[in-house]
Amino acid sequence: MRFAQRSLQPTIRRCISTTAARRAEATEEELREPFTAAPEIDFAHTGGSAEKGDKKNTLRALRVVPASPSYFSAKPTFTDDFISLSALLRKVATLPVIPPAEAPKVAWKTIEQYRIMTNEPVKTARYHRMLQILRRLNCIHPALMPDEVVQAMQRYKKPNQPGDIIPKPEVIDELGRAKGVGRRKTSSAVAWLVEGEGEVLVNGKSLSEFFGRLHHRESAVWALKATQRLDKYNVFALVQGGGLTGQAEAMTLAVAKSLLVHEPALKPALRRAGTITRDPRKVERKKAGHVKARKMPTWVKR
């Protein structure tokens, strides 16, 4: 024990001497700078606290009070938003609601957009809890929706909402043709539909000449077959890119869109047949060190 104390004494002395030298240097630098006195405390606006000896009012007048009670939390802005939305939900909890499927469609801000807005590292799970409150507020009956709720939800909506952008409707040209465009993987197709006897031309060839497999032929005209319109319209299509499967499925979407221009009432039937929904799947790219997109080479011990 004594040996340890003796070994520590030179180190402590060096630290003390170094600290003292630093303090001396800092003191000399401070003496060179001009001295500025603090402003005097004005007790006139403290409500007579100096005369009555009320220390509480004096401290309240002297200290800087944070603007929010959540100032000292890790995420003050998110905490304030969550607390205010929770209080608003408790306030309007008794109002009648409608099913979520019938509620107005709203595009809420993503977690990345909210983090940029608040400049705080908000966790995904906590942001989803706040979105649950917003969806519950959005289910309030539109006729009884308070203005306070509308203003509160506006802060968390995206600038462009689903109903703001209205697509340009397709029309039938002077020759009686309706145009539709479809894509699948790397293939694209443009189809023109006109009333006729059921003839189909793909890149200037008949359907059986262009698509050798029966499955590809059925896919290309599936929209007409599902709605029993095979003998009611003539189809002229231009396809390019990809393989035969991608071209046939791209033509399916193009024919379905052009058929909707002629008969908009067929939209539910075409949706049930799955012909007007774009398939976003694409071939996954190959990765470095892999045989294919996900296949790894065979492991060899030596």
Question: Which of 270, 243, 253 is CA-nearest to residue 183?
Answer: 253
* Statement to judge: residues 144 and 195 lie in one domain: no
Backbone φ and ψ for 235, nearest 5 degrees, come out as: -125, 130
Residue type, 179: K
* Statement to judge: residues 193 and 228 lie in one domain: yes
CB 239 within 8 A of CB 203: yes
* Statement to judge: residues 183 and 132 lie in one domain: no
Domain-located, residue 243: yes
Question: Which of 108, 110, 102, 87 is CA-nearest to residue 139?
Answer: 102
* Statement to judge: residues 134 and 209 lie in one domain: no
CA-CA distance, 163 to 277, in Å (whole number)? 19
Q: How many domains does the chain have?
A: 2
Domain-located, residue 167: no
Biggest CA–CA distance in the chain, Å, is: 110
Per-residue pLDDT tens listing for the chain (302 residues)? 444 445 545 544 444 444 444 444 444 454 455 546 556 656 555 455 445 456 667 766 667 778 888 888 999 999 999 999 999 999 999 999 999 999 999 999 999 999 999 999 999 999 999 999 999 999 999 999 999 999 999 999 999 888 777 778 888 999 999 999 999 999 999 999 999 999 999 999 999 999 999 999 999 999 999 999 999 999 999 999 999 999 999 999 999 999 999 999 999 999 999 999 999 999 999 999 999 999 999 999 87
**Helix 124-138 crosses helix 111-118 at what angle (to 10 degrees)?**
100
Query: How far lies 107's CA from each of 123, 155, 164, in Å?
Result: 20, 12, 11
Domain-located, residue 225: yes
Domain-located, residue 88: yes
pLDDT at position 161 is: 84
Domain boundary among 154, 187, 204: 154
* Statement to judge: residues 101 and 145 lie in one domain: yes
Identify the H or E element spanning 187. strand 187-195
CB 233 within 8 A of CB 259: yes
CA-CA distance, 302 to 288, in Å (whole number)? 22
* Statement to judge: residues 222 and 262 lie in one domain: yes
Domain-located, residue 200: yes
Question: Which of 245, 240, 236 is CA-nearest to residue 215?
Answer: 245
* Statement to judge: residues 81 and 145 lie in one domain: yes
Q: How many Cβ atoms are within 10 Å of 52's Cβ, its own excluded?
A: 11
Structural domain that includes position 269: 178-273
Domain-located, residue 38: no
Query: How far lies 101's CA from each of 76, 97, 138, 255, in Å?
Result: 34, 12, 11, 30
* Statement to judge: residues 121 and 184 lie in one domain: no
Provide the residue count of the chain.
302
* Statement to judge: residues 203 and 118 lie in one domain: no
Question: Which of 230, 232, 186 is CA-nearest to residue 207?
Answer: 230
Residue type, 37: A
CA-CA distance, 252 to 275, in Å (whole number)? 6
CB 51 within 8 A of CB 67: no
Tokens of 126: 């906590």
Euclidean distance between the first and the last CA atom of the chain, given in angstroms as a whole number: 56
Domain-located, residue 215: yes
CB 270 within 8 A of CB 258: no
Question: Which of 241, 246, 259, 242 is CA-nearest to residue 200?
Answer: 259
> In CATH, what number is assigned to the domain containing residue 268?
3.30.230.10
Domain boundary among 116, 138, 154: 154
Domain-located, residue 52: no
